[in-house]
Amino acid sequence: MILCAWCEAKGQPGGAARDPASAEWRAVSHEYAREAKRNGLASHGICSACLPLVLTEWGLKGR
């Protein structure tokens, strides 16, 4: 499972996760995401909802 690394850090109301074989992100609770990380069942990425925030914060928007 791939979890969005930014959802919780940037105060999103929930997290996002996707299966490595899929491009679709689905909503998950922060509790579910924390449990997956604790059990070693997750890696990290950036979901489509957080991507614009990351690009703006890093000064990459419009590139």
| pLDDT per residue as tens, the chain (63 positions) | 999 999 877 777 889 999 999 999 999 998 998 899 899 999 999 999 999 989 999 999 765
Give the per-residue pLDDT at 11. Answer: 76
Give the per-residue pLDDT at 3. Answer: 94
Separation of alpha carbons 40 and 37, rounded Å = 5
Which residues constitute the domain of residue 37? 2-57
Strand, coil or helix: what is 29?
coil
Cα end-to-end distance, the chain, whole Å = 29
Is residue 27 assigned to a domain? Answer: yes
**pTM attached to this predicted model:** 0.79
Number of compact structural domains in the chain: 1
Helices assigned H by DSSP within the chain:
30-38, 51-57
Quick check: 9 and 21 in contact, CB under 8 A?
A: no
Is residue 62 assigned to a domain? Answer: no
